[in-house]
Structure 1
Amino acid sequence: MSYSTQLSTYIDSWLSTFIESADQSCDKPILDWDQMPTPPTSEITRSPKRPRYQDAQEEETPRPRAQSRYDCVRDDVFKDQTPTGPSFRFALPTRPFSNAPSLPPSSSASGTSRSSSPVKRSTLGLLSKPIHFVAIKRSYLPKYIHKTYDAIFSIVNNVGFIPSAVRQRLEDNDEDVLDQWFFNGEGEDLLKEFTELKEIQAEAVAVQVEEASEGTWNLEVHGPLLKLAFKPFSRLRRKLLTHASISKPFIPSTSESSYYPTTKTKMIDWGISISPPETTAEHIRRMINSLPVSQRSINQTIYGPVRNTPIAIPIEIKIASGSLEEARGQLGLWIAAWYTRMNALKSCNEGMIAMPMIIVIEHEWKLLFAVDRGESIVSATI
């Protein structure tokens, strides 16, 4: 008898052990699982790194709980609900599959990760120190940052943000220009930088037309742009943080009786980190190495690439289908965790510095400043 015939016969026998009606007893003899036929060895091989879609679905299917006998459990006849199935719930027989048909190696299922629900903006109001997003006002910012704010305000309003060295190239490309856009700046380095920016711009247009994923935007557009932007600053580096989660001790607390989900596969996309001088770096290493494992980082995450280098600017990326509210929620929770971490490191009650943040939705960049207002954190958007 072929294996397929044996297996079919065995399955029919197994199915016959189930209760066929409400009047049947649960004392039916247990089928001898040791007689189950073994399938022939499969010669098909496949990389375990490429699980089939069906296998992944099967992995997510809840498995039946073990029972000592068949379960014949009647639904509660007094429960006021619309029936969703038969009036009996059946459980599989309890005998272990000691000699069950073994699947070929190519069918081995692998676990699939599940992303949790996005952090909502309303979540930030539940924090013990809530975060509020507001329109920018100069008075919201500390005085030491006013000069920086004024320079940024001019750029946002298209005043003096392009070096004069590239004006001719813009005009040669039939670009419309205004005198107020340019500042005095000459040199071959500026022309080279302009060429690189045009290449990144062309790539950005391409991935937008292709409706590419967020990962593609990070790889082809935002990563190269950030690298170019911080090239003149040797101590600043862009770090991809899509795998950096908030360490448990620094998850921000909520007000009494409030709750929000703390498990996220990703909080932010990029971070601009600062490489401190060697003496400072050594001091940081000594300090964090004396802490418990879950706290061994200068930041709120123990992700290796940023364990010893402070993150100065967190950046959250979204594609066109992404939500600005979701981006604010993720960035806000990240900042709240940063405040928690910094408070744990401080030895005095001095106030926190204003923290710059960036939200990017395809070609549009938004600059924000998180400012400690005592009872809350205000995130002002420029």
Structure 2
Amino acid sequence: MTGLSVSPFIEEWLDAITQNFEFVQTFEQPSNATPKKRAAKFEYRHSMTTPPPSTLSGQSRRRPASPTKWQRFESEDGNNGEIGWLEGNDDQTPRSNVSQRLPNTNAPPIPFRGFSVPSITPSQSPSLVSGSSNQSPSVAGSERSQARSGRTKSPVKSANSLWALDLPVIYTPMGDDAVQMLPGDVKDLFRSIEEITMDHLEVIPSEIRKDVEAIIPRAARKDDWFRNAQKSPAAHHETPEDETTYPRSHKPQSPLDISLHELDLLRDIGNKSKNCEIRACAEVTWNMLVHQPLFEHALAGHATVQAEPALTAKIMAPFSPATSGRGGGRVIENKMVDFCFTLWLNEGKPRQLEGDDSASSTDASLMSAIANRVWAQPPDAQSVNQTGYPPLQFAPIACNIETKTSTAQQGGQLQLSVWTAAWYQRILKLVPDGVAQHGIITLPLLHIVGHDWRLSFACWRRDRIEIVGELALGDTRTLLGLYTLVAVVRKIGDWVATDYRRWIEKVFLE
């Protein structure tokens, strides 16, 4: 039978059943137990149980069985951007919890032969889902996450939001005598950094003075800018030609070559930072091209200090700053930072294996003490820090860094504050006896906005965290600013390897 002769056959069948046909539209309110149940269903009641058999084909056409489907689900932390997969039943159609769409109730009804269906407007129809029908998927996902966790989060919109924390975070501007405002564990660090930033004392190696004067003419009158060769942090003794060691390397060895290499590197970083500003690059581009290379260069001489990118390091639930209902929520919205300076022991390995002499026995012993304390914690809290991010699991954080572009200046201090408050919560729970005896050390905080770098200090005052700042450090616009930043980062690295390490040894070993 051809397609032209099929149409009359269908027309006759439809005309025959019109009088006995009843159309009923019902709506069902989906329950929480079955969130993917169809919101609307159509029932057809007619006297004919089945339509007449078609003579198009003598054999029935059977739809092939569907392969095993997979179902998207939301991550436990409510992050709609993270997708997991679970194996579903063969007879279920997979649907995304994030991108489900409600029926278009404003569309005209489908016409049926022999009768009409009244249009249903949104105001006349019952709600198809719990909550508003025009609610965005992201809001719905957030509410589902809150329902699962049982804790309402409140966003951090200003510094006033930090007062609502159970352990409040308070900002205090640096006065004329900032040293008197700081605890004793960072007074010397602050004095040395202040001298560097104010007077640029000994930030440039003297071996390349003529090169620098060609770039910065006023450097000819600034003897204090240049440090002696023996004070260079990267200076090495030259190897006599008859004592060549193998394998050979093109890495600079002499103080002059090392200084020239640093000059070339900093000029390159400066050019890239200007290019990032001109092209309005994103944060991640600044971090890759400017900040990470500068950190790695400045800390190259510190074997036990690591600059760790932390863009994906999330705060674990037990250490999320809590408000006990103040400020409209019970848990402050978690914030992440861009980098952390950490105490890097035993190459990050929690234990020293037999025959492994890559790290000193002192470093291995301290790392073992940290790892044993971490492994003794509950499963959801096994980290020396406030995050379960693997590179930070056994490396104590000593300095937090948040970067922002010049077009997004707001929020950097708030992110640093929430992240740092969570770190204090972690330390209080991890080593309560050590804290009771030795207190909690002050943490330096770096806030980078575009080219400009600023320093503040998070001070533990037992009933609050006081952040004292900010001190302008330097910038990446000029060569002098870059040399100044390198000198500051090296001072912080010295402090991490000495004062901070001594505090870690006290709270974990005594």
Instruction: Give the alignment's TM-score, normalised by structure 2.
Output: 0.53
Higher relative contact order by CA 8 Å / sep ≥ 6: 1 or 2?
1
Give the equivalent residue in structure 1 for 2:243.
none
Shift of 1:262: 4.2
Q: Secondary structure at the match of 1:89?
A: coil
Flag the 1:303–1:234 CA change in 2: closer, same or farther, 3 A: same
AA paired with 1:128? D
Larger Rg: 2
Residues 156, 333 of structure 2: 8 Å contact kept: no
Deviations 1:276-298 (A, max 9, x none): 31111111112211221211111
Give the equivalent residue in structure 1 for 2:214.
172
**More displaced stretch, 241-250 vs 142-151:** 142-151
Give the equivalent residue in structure 2 for 1:9.
none
Flag the 1:164–1:18 CA change in 2: closer, same or farther, 3 A: farther
Give unmatched runs, 5+ long, in structure 1.
2-15, 20-25, 41-50, 52-57, 66-84, 93-112
| Alignment partner of 1:194 is 2:250 | no
| Alignment partner of 1:282 is 2:368 | yes
| Alignment partner of 1:322 is 2:336 | no
Shift of 1:39: 11
Give the equivalent residue in structure 1 for 2:188.
147
Flag the 1:359–1:380 CA change in 2: closer, same or farther, 3 A: same
Shift of 1:150: 1.1
Please list, as runs of the form range in 1=range in 2, the aligned pairs for 1:100-249 lying within 5 A after superposition: 120-136=158-174, 137-160=178-201, 161-173=203-215, 175-177=217-219, 178-179=221-222, 182-186=225-229, 187-188=255-256, 189-249=258-318
Shift of 1:121: 2.4
Flag the 1:215–1:39 CA change in 2: closer, same or farther, 3 A: farther
Counterparts of 2:382 and 2:197, CA distance in 1: 39
Shift of 1:323: 2.6
Counterparts of 2:324 and 2:199, CA distance in 1: 43
Q: Secondary structure at the match of 1:254?
A: coil
Flag the 1:335–1:17 CA change in 2: closer, same or farther, 3 A: same
Counterparts of 1:254 and 1:176, CA distance in 2: 53
Give the equivalent residue in structure 2 for 1:355.
443
Instruction: Give the alignment's TM-score, normalised by structure 1.
Output: 0.70
Shift of 1:251: 1.3
Give the equivalent residue in structure 1 for 2:421.
336
**More displaced stretch, 300-309 vs 126-135:** 126-135
CA RMSD of aligned residues (A): 3.5
Deviations 1:46-99 (A, max 9, x none): xxxxx9xxxxxx97445559xxxxxxxxxxxxxxxxxxx75312667xxxxxxx
Counterparts of 2:337 and 2:393, CA distance in 1: 16
| Alignment partner of 1:378 is 2:466 | yes
Give unmatched runs, 5+ long, in structure 2.
4-22, 27-39, 52-60, 65-82, 84-95, 104-120, 129-140, 143-152, 230-254, 346-362, 472-510
Give the equivalent residue in structure 2 for 1:89.
125
Counterparts of 1:317 and 1:192, CA distance in 2: 26
Counterparts of 2:293 and 2:282, CA distance in 1: 16
Shift of 1:123: 2.0
Shift of 1:196: 1.0
Residues 209, 226 of structure 2: 8 Å contact kept: no
Deviations 1:194-229 (A, max 9, x none): 221111111111111111111111111111111111
Matched residue count: 304
Counterparts of 1:310 and 1:172, CA distance in 2: 43
